[in-house]
Amino acid sequence: MPAPTDKNHASIREKMEALIRRKQKEITEGLESVDTVQFHADSWERGNDGGGGTSMVISNGSTFEKGGVNVSVVYGNLTPTAILAMKNDHADLKLPIDAETGLPVSEGVKFFACGLSMVIHPKNPHCPTTHLNYRYFETWNPDGTPQSWWFGGGADLTPYYLYEEDAVLFHTLHKKALDKHDTTLYPKWKKWADEYFWIKHRNEARGIGGTFFDDFNAKDPEEILKIVEDSFDAFLPSYLPIIKKRKDMPFTEEEKKWQLIRRGRYVEYNLIYDRGTQFGLRTPGSRVESILMSLPEYASWVYDHHPAPGSREAKLIEVTSHPREWAE
Amino acid sequence: MPAPTDKNHASIREKMEALIRRKQKEITEGLESVDTVQFHADSWERGNDGGGGTSMVISNGSTFEKGGVNVSVVYGNLTPTAILAMKNDHADLKLPIDAETGLPVSEGVKFFACGLSMVIHPKNPHCPTTHLNYRYFETWNPDGTPQSWWFGGGADLTPYYLYEEDAVLFHTLHKKALDKHDTTLYPKWKKWADEYFWIKHRNEARGIGGTFFDDFNAKDPEEILKIVEDSFDAFLPSYLPIIKKRKDMPFTEEEKKWQLIRRGRYVEYNLIYDRGTQFGLRTPGSRVESILMSLPEYASWVYDHHPAPGSREAKLIEVTSHPREWAE
C-alpha cells in the first residue's frame, strides 16, 4: 500500500525519519571508533505491507560481542486486535466503529511509525550493556482525517558490575538533555524507566535504568523533536567514555559467567515483558530478526543462583533491586 | 490453609502423588546411571499457600549439562483472574458468581494440583534435549462440592542433529504405551504436541514432538492413572538408549555452537509460549526457580542465522518446520 497521503504532520514524519537515519550513522560510527570491527548494514522491506528498515549489526568485535542499531519506517493498517492491544497505553487511539453494524471497522486505522532502536552487548563484563529507542507514531481514521500521534523512547544501562561513576555519568547527561527543555521530564521518565524495566518474577530491575517515556504528545511536536534530538545527542558522550575506560580491563572466567547469568535475565525481560517485543512477535509481517536483535550472543541459566553476600555481584543486585537516584 | 477435605477423588490424588514421587526416583536414578554426577534434591514450600515440592537438579555432569526433575503438590484458592486465564483450556472450570451481587465470588474456587515436570539438557550436541510432564488438577466450589478435574501432560524430544532412529524409538514407545489403552490417543496427542510446541514467530516446532494432552477426563480416572503410569514407563526406555549411543560421540565447536543457537529457540518457546511458564510466572507465590529450571545452562543468539542448504543443520530445520510421522 502507498504511504499515507495526509499532510498534517508530513514535516514531522520527514524530520523524524531524517533524524533517526542521521543518528544511526553517528551512533554506529561512534561505536566503531572503540572497536576493531565494523557494523554491517542489512536492509529489509515489509513484504505486503508498507515500509522497511535498515539494521546495522555488529558481532564478534574485540569490544562489542553483539549489537544492532536498527532504523525502521513502516506504515499500513492497524487491525482492530492491534488497536485493542495498544489502547491501554495510548488514550487517544480510537477503535472506529461502523455506525450501521456497531462492529469495529475491519480495515481499522492507518498508521505510520518510525524509530531507531539499539541494543549493544559488549564483551568485557566490566562494560555495561545499553539500550536506546526513540520512535514516532501517527494514526488516521479510515476517512483520512488525523486521529492520534505520539513520541516514545528512552535510553538505559545494564551493568554487570556496578561502577557508580558510570551510572552517574549516564543518568546525568540524559537528565541535562531533558532539563534544557523541561525540568519535570527527567524525574518522571527516570521513574517510568525504573517501573518499565522491572522483572516482576525476579523482583528486580533489568539494570540501573535511565529514561523511558511513551504516548508523549503534551508539547508541540517540533519541540518534542528537539527533545528527542538532544536525548540522542546525550547517548555517545554518556556511553563511549565508559566503554573506553572498561573495555580492556582484565576479567576472570567467573566474571564472564556472571555476565552470562545476568544476560539470561535480560533475555527473560525482553521475551516476557518488553512491550515492543511482545507486540512485534505477535504482529503478522513484522521482522523477527530485527525484533530479536536485542538478545545477547550468549546467556546462561544456573538453578537457584545467588551471589555470595558482600560480593561485587551481590552489590549489583542490591542496586537493581532498589533503584537509586544517580543524576547529579 | 489446610488441604481440601473433599473425599471424592481422595484416592486419585493420593495415587497420583505416590506415582509422581516413585517416578521421580526411578527417572533420576535412570539418568544418573549414564552420568558421573548425581541429582541433588531441593525441597521447597509454598509460603502462605498450601503445598510444596521437591526439585531434583543435575548440573555440570559429563553427560547432562543441566536438568531437573521436579515434583510439586500444591493446593489453595484459584483467584477469579486465574480461573479466567484457565477457562479457555478447561471447559468444566466455572467462575462462581455471587447470586446477590452478580460479581465473581472473591475467594474463587479451591484447587489441588500435583505433577512431575522434567527437562534434561545433555552436553553433547548429538544427544537430544527432552521434556516430560504429567499432572493432575482438581477444583471445588466455595461450598466444598467437587467442580472439575483433569489430567494433562506428555513427553517430547528436541534433537540438535536429526537421527531418524532416535525419533522413531521415542515416538514408537510412547505410542505403544497409549495403544495398550486406546489406539485413538496417540494420533490425537501426537498432533496436539506438534501444534502445542510450535514457535509461531519462527514458523517451526521446538523439536520433533512427542505427545501432549490437557483437560483429559474422558475416561475413568483410575484408567487415566494407568495411562499416565504406562506413559511414564515409556520414557526411560525411549531416551536412555539414545543417550548411551550418542553421549561420547565426538563433536566440533561448530556443532556445539549450533546446539546453543537451537537452545536459544528453546528459551524463546518456553518464555513466550509455554502455558505453564506464562501462568507460573504470573501467579503470586509460585516458585520461579522451579519454573525456570527448564532453561538451558547456555543459549546463543546470532543475528539472522541460517544453516547452509543441504547441511545436517538444515536437515533438522526441515523436520522441525514440517512435522512428520515417526511412530512404527
Whether the CB of B303 is below 8 Å from some CB of chain A: the reply is yes
Q: How confident is the model at residue B8 (pLDDT cuts 50, 70, 90)?
A: low
Each residue's pLDDT tens digit, B191-247:
999 999 999 999 999 999 999 999 999 999 999 999 999 999 999 999 999 999 999
Q: How confident is the model at residue B7 (pLDDT cuts 50, 70, 90)?
A: low
Cβ within 8 Å, pair A272-B268: no
B222: which 3 cell numbers? Answer: 483410575
HSE on the CB side for A224, CA within 13 Å? 22
Chain B nearest-CA residue for A56 = B303
Nearest chain B CA: its distance from A202 CA (Å): 8
Mean pLDDT check: name the lowest of A309-313, B41-45, B127-131. Answer: B41-45
3-state DSSP of B178-232:
HHCCCCCHHHHHHHHHHHHCEEHHHCEECCCCECCEEEECCCCHHHHHHHHHHHH
Determine how β-strand A213-216 pairs with β-strand A50-59: unpaired
Cβ within 8 Å, pair B303-A202: no
B55 close to B290: Cβ distance less than 8 angstroms: yes
Residues of A in contact with B292 (CB under 8 A): 268, 301
What part of B 155-194 touches A (C-beta under 8 Å)? none
A108: which 3 cell numbers? Answer: 481499522
Q: Is the backbone of residue B76 left (phi > 0), alpha (psi -120 to 50) or beta? A: left
Nearest chain B CA: its distance from A271 CA (Å): 6
Q: What mean pLDDT is predicted for residues A124-134?
A: 98
Residues of B in contact with A302 (CB under 8 A): 59, 297
ipTM of the complex: 0.92
In this predicted structure, the answer to whether residue A7 has a pLDDT above a threshold of 80 is no
Each residue's pLDDT tens digit, A207-244:
999 999 999 999 999 999 999 999 999 999 999 999 99
Each residue's pLDDT tens digit, A267-296:
999 999 998 888 788 776 778 999 999 999
A21 close to A14: Cβ distance less than 8 angstroms: no
Q: How confident is the model at residue A106 (pLDDT cuts 50, 70, 90)?
A: low
Q: Tell me whether residue A174 is one of the annotated catalytic residues.
A: no
CA–CA distance, A205 with A322 (Å, rounded to integer): 8
Instruction: Determine whether B109 is exposed, middle or buried from the number of CB atoms within 10 Å of its CB (0-12, 13-18, 19+).
Output: buried
Q: How confident is the model at residue A4 (pLDDT cuts 50, 70, 90)?
A: very low
- Tell which of B277, B288, B292, B303 to mutate to test the A interface (max A CBs under 10 Å): B303
